[in-house]
Structure 1
């Protein structure tokens, strides 16, 4: 029996290599197709009472710029973001129990009135944090640390998906979904992609990613409880085993 074929769409850095190694340990055949290229903007987090990070990438860029929290209360959305901060020697003061921007707004809503809040993240974040914290009375500033561009070589997995040759696809962010479907539109069209993945297990990290997939007429089969890649891979492999 052949190994299940799973497309992994992580950024084109060490994360794609780690993802491939992890999937191989599950006895599956990974298809590496990086859908994101990180482009730092050169900006640095501003000084504020609260400093919010929403991704591992944002933390790594800030640390590379020799950023230090000073007296700021450091907030992290997601376990990987928090782990990267701690690994960099930065204490995490607040991490919402639900790993979403809305969860962080709920966590901070009663304490940020009159405070300054710095949101250090990509240029593609939703306005949930800004709107929610502003409504709570905070003076909110956003620094766009990086952009997520589409690699020029991306697209091999889209062709396989449209042809119905993938057993599963792992989507890790709304931007990944956007780039994947952009390529599909440039190739045979999104309706052809929808038909091609009708029997494919679709895994998504987080509700924003799942919603981006559903908005394009594709059913999401797996949404793990946390925002870590390993759990997404584990849950997807389990779903494949159940089906076969």
Structure 2
């Protein structure tokens, strides 16, 4: 059986592990980031740092938040004295690597999963810091505020349109030439930007549906694929390793 060629659209600084997993599972990765992440030191982040001692909870939704805080405020994380909630194993592991204890990580690695955990535990009347990207969905701060908490929302990094459009257009050519077997998407913006670069979205969607196995990391990203009428699968646990395991299992079943 030939090796599947797998397109990886996640940001370049997060793609190394995904490429390694593809190679380990017997495939060939093709990296074409459709999203770039840039740490930023905003006024809202400065306010969060200044109010550090007021925090009862802080929520890290991605590793990039931790990278940004360490870059601009290296004393912030080591001196945190509040409870920590995270979304996802990777974020949790990086937090622990930075000396923090994770107090809450939902089994469902989504904002909705975290909201449900806060709701079940009756967490109310607390000051909760949420440093993240400004383009993130508003549901997390909105719902935690509805529970009676004060939210300090801070922009810690920007989610940028891909800076290397050439790599994406080269990926389009490979898809059209039948050189790609599967494609992975790890966030709603990776899908949106992928189609934004295309001059013929309907043709691209047809190519994906007819020739590729499309894999989403989870249901939130899958909703955007639904918007473009792309057939897709996603794993029960919303992580990159689980996504890749499902991809290879499905691909092999379809190509035996």
TM-score (norm 2): 0.87
Aligned to 1:16: 15
Which stretches in structure 2 are left out of the alignment for 5+ residues? none
Confirm or deny: 8 A CA contact 2:108 2:238 kept in the other structure. no
Indicate which of 220, 224, 227 corresponds to 2:235: 224
Are 2:6 and 1:6 aligned? yes
Which stretches in structure 1 are left out of the alignment for 5+ residues? none
Q: Deviations over 1:61-108 (max 9, x none)?
A: 223322225321111011111111001111111111211111111111
Q: Deviations over 1:157-185 (max 9, x none)?
A: 2333355542110101111111101012x
Aligned to 1:160: 174
TM-score (norm 1): 0.91
Distance 2:90 2:16 in 1: 17
Matches within 5 A, 1:3-82: 3-13=3-13, 15-43=14-42, 44=45, 45-46=48-49, 47=52, 48-64=55-71, 65-66=73-74, 67-68=76-77, 70-82=80-92
Matches within 5 A, 1:105-124: 105-109=115-119, 110-124=121-135
Aligned to 1:172: 186
Confirm or deny: 8 A CA contact 1:114 1:139 kept in the other structure. yes
1:208 offset after TM fit, Å? Answer: 1.0
Indicate which of 81, 91, 98 corresponds to 2:101: 91
Confirm or deny: 8 A CA contact 1:162 1:192 kept in the other structure. no
1:151 offset after TM fit, Å? Answer: 2.7
The structure in which a higher percent of residues are helix is 2
Q: Is the partner of 2:12 in helix, strand or coil?
A: coil
Runs of 4+ with >4 A deviation: none
The more displaced of 103-112 and 233-242 is 103-112
Aligned to 2:114: 104
Q: Is the partner of 1:6 in helix, strand or coil?
A: strand
Structure with greater contact order relative to length (CA < 8 Å, sep ≥ 6): 2
Distance 2:239 2:126 in 1: 31
Q: Is the partner of 1:30 in helix, strand or coil?
A: strand
Q: Deviations over 1:174-228 (max 9, x none)?
A: 11111101012xx2x111011101131111112111111111111112x122232
| RMSD of aligned alpha carbons | 1.7
Indicate which of 215, 229, 236 corresponds to 2:227: 215
Distance 2:158 2:69 in 1: 14
Q: Is the partner of 1:169 in helix, strand or coil?
A: strand
Q: Is the partner of 1:148 in helix, strand or coil?
A: strand
Q: Is the partner of 2:237 in helix, strand or coil?
A: coil
